[in-house]
Every structure is written in structure tokens, then in C-alpha cells.
Amino acid sequence: MPALKESPVLSKLETAALRVDEIDRLLSQPVRTGQHEIQRLNKERAELAPQAELHQAFSTLLRQITEAEEMLEDPRSDMKELAREELKELQGRRAELEGRARELLIVKDPRDAKNTFIEVRAGTGGEEAALFAAELVRMYTRYAEQRRWRVELMDSSLTELGGVKEAVLLIEGKGVYSRFKHESGVHRVQRVPATEGSGRIHTSTVTVAVMAEAEEVDVQIDPKDLKIDTFCSSGAGGQSVNTTYSAVRITHIPTGIVVSCQDERSQLKNRNKAMRNLRSRIMDAEKEKQDSEIAQQRKSQVGTGDRSEKIRTYNFAQNRVTDHRVGLTLHRLDQVLQGDLDEIIDALIASDQMWGPD
């Protein structure tokens, strides 16, 4: 095993420790540091602190190993046996710390801990696609509730038969995005619709978009770039739910992104919710732009990540769900639709860690 002073792991931990020291110096000058910058620095410090603490433990261990080795090499020492036992114990400790360091140094998606917006849209297949979109909304809601996360319906457009043309969920909790981020893409359903008399299997699609919630410190929006409209909330078929102009539609002029919210009776609450959604969409659009620039360089067995890909198939006749990115097939579709998603999600996370983050 290489000496610690030659370990690249130790070098990376030292870089983190030096950055923490630098952040501490910057935070000690609040007059020269704006509020948004203070928030950003505190967030960065919290992410690097475990690495900095481990660097301190590593450095202490290095000194102890050096002292034990010197004692063994000293011909005048009468404590060589004790030094030999201590060195053996320290080497075991070194292996343990290096393992912890490698875990800490795995490149993590900085969005993993964020709250998450999930947008579900009916694709090809008409009413059957809308009905399956409603089932996906329930699946994600049940999964979140099983994990004791908070689920809020931000906006929805329903069909007469109870299908979902479009729905936006906000899910809040620890590590939400890390569990949902691989759900983005085209979900394909194969089944016999209730309205199909001949028993012929139809194929329909639903698109899912997953966006980490952006904070104000992440995305700055100029109010002059916004076009805000208000309208009456409506339900399935377009009938009026209330007669006040409480629903809000916000257009971000530079990007053309449009969001709406009609979940609350208060126009102010709807506006605040819509702004949360807008910030996340802008951040997601920027990330997609960055990803597209390196897409040709990064093609792996898990796919390109393009939302046009069919990432998963739900076959009702065979009670089967197949995730095409990792080649996982489960014959318990009924349980998956009840929110039993962990086996699929765990396989996707394991594949992501093997091949590297998006």
C-alpha cells in the first residue's frame, strides 16, 4: 500500500481543506460579501466540510505512522514490539480512512438533496395515454408518501374520463431529486384499453420531466423579463372552479418558458408557487444546454439521457415493467404502480455511479 504522503486521495482532501479555509476567510468579511454570495459560500462549505475533517484525521494518522516507523528503525529502541503492533493497527486504520475518503470524493450531483418538480404529460395514444399519465402521477405520489415526503399538486389539466393531459407535482424532502432524477424520459404502456372491444393491445406513451427546485441563489430573474397573466381556475372539461382571477400564468420572455399554477385560491400563493417552478425550469433548461454540448463525447450503455428515448415499458398483459437503460425486468407491474419503485431506482443509481454522473 502506498505511503499516505503519496496518496492522491490525501491530495484531494487537502484541496477541500484549503478551500474551506479560504471560504472561512471570505465569510469573515461580510461587508465585502453580498447576501447571495454568503448563502452560496455557506452551502459550498457545508458540502466540503466532511472532506476537510477527514483530511485532518488523515494528517494525524500520517504523523502517527511516521513516529511508529521511526521507532522501529531506531536500533536503540527497546519498544520495537510495541511499535510493530501499533503500526499494524495504524495501517488498518489507514485502509479504513482511504475507503471513507473515496466514498466522499465520488462526484455527486449537487442537485441530489433538492426538492423536485415532476411534470407528467400524456403523449401519443389519446385518452389511453392520459389515463396512464394519471396512473404515473399516483405511482410517484405513493412512492413519495411511503418515504414520508411532502407531495403537492402544483398544476393539472384533466380529461372528462379522469385522465391527465398534464400535471406538475412538487415533492419536498431529504434527497428527493437523487431518487427521482432518472425518471425523466418517455414511458411506454402496452395494454388493452377498457374501451377496446376486440381485445387488441394498444401502445401509448407518457413523458416525464424531473427538475430539481432552483433556489433564488441559483437563478436570478429580472422582473422586467416576466409577463404575468391571471385567469379563473378551471377543472376537467374547462368548467369554472371559482370566479376569481386567482390562477397565474408566468412567461419568462428571454427563454419563452411558461408556467402556471391554479392550485390555491390566493393569487399571491399561486404566483409564489409558479415562480418556484419557473426558477427550476430555467435551471433545468440551462443544464440541458450544457449537456447537449458534451452529448457527442458522452455516449455510454445507459443511453444519452435524451428525453425522446423510451426509457421504460409497462406491459399489463404480462404484469411486466422493463427499464431499457439497465436491462432490468420485473414481473410485478401491479406493485410498481402502487409505488414499489426502489428496486428500479436502486439499479439506476448503481449504474449511474458506475458510469459517472450525467
pLDDT at 188: 95
| Co-location of 100 and 154 in the same domain | no
Q: What are phi and psi of 321, to 5 degrees?
A: -130, 130
| Co-location of 206 and 322 in the same domain | yes
| Co-location of 68 and 29 in the same domain | yes
pLDDT at 240: 45
pLDDT at 291: 61
Instruction: Specify the CATH number for the domain of residue 151.
Output: 3.30.70.1660
Say what the pTM is: 0.60
Beta-ladder partners of 227: 251
Residue 91 inside a domain? The answer is yes
Encode the chain (358 residues) as per-residue pLDDT tens digits: 344 445 667 788 888 899 999 999 888 876 666 777 888 888 888 888 988 999 988 888 888 888 888 888 877 766 777 888 888 888 888 888 888 887 777 667 778 888 899 999 999 988 999 999 999 999 999 999 999 999 999 888 998 888 999 999 999 998 899 999 999 999 999 998 866 666 788 899 999 999 888 765 567 788 888 998 888 866 544 444 555 678 899 999 988 899 988 877 888 888 888 888 888 888 888 777 756 654 443 343 233 333 446 999 999 999 999 999 999 999 999 999 999 999 999 999 888 765 544 4
Residue 303 inside a domain? The answer is no
Q: 268: domain range? A: 221-295
| Co-location of 155 and 231 in the same domain | no
| Co-location of 205 and 239 in the same domain | no
**All cell numbers assigned to 65:** 505512522
| Co-location of 37 and 55 in the same domain | yes
| Co-location of 256 and 205 in the same domain | no
Give the number of domains in the chain: 3
| Region class of 238: left (phi > 0), else alpha (psi between -120 and 50), else beta | left
CA distances from residue 58 to 5, 11, 51, 243 in whole angstroms, order as listed: 10, 11, 10, 66
| Co-location of 30 and 94 in the same domain | yes
Residue 159 inside a domain? The answer is yes
Q: Which of 105, 123, 146 is the last residue of a domain?
A: 105
| Co-location of 227 and 209 in the same domain | no
Q: Tell me how many helices (H) and strands (E) the chain has.
A: 8, 11
Three-class SS of residue 298? Answer: coil
Residue 33 inside a domain? The answer is yes
Q: With contact defined as beta carbons under 8 Å apart, do 51 and 13 qualify?
A: yes
| Co-location of 272 and 330 in the same domain | no
pLDDT at 197: 62
Instruction: Specify the CATH number for the domain of residue 286.
Output: 3.30.160.20
**All cell numbers assigned to 142:** 405513493
Residue 236 inside a domain? The answer is yes
Residue 273 inside a domain? The answer is yes
| Co-location of 230 and 199 in the same domain | no
| Co-location of 195 and 225 in the same domain | no
Beta-ladder partners of 111: none
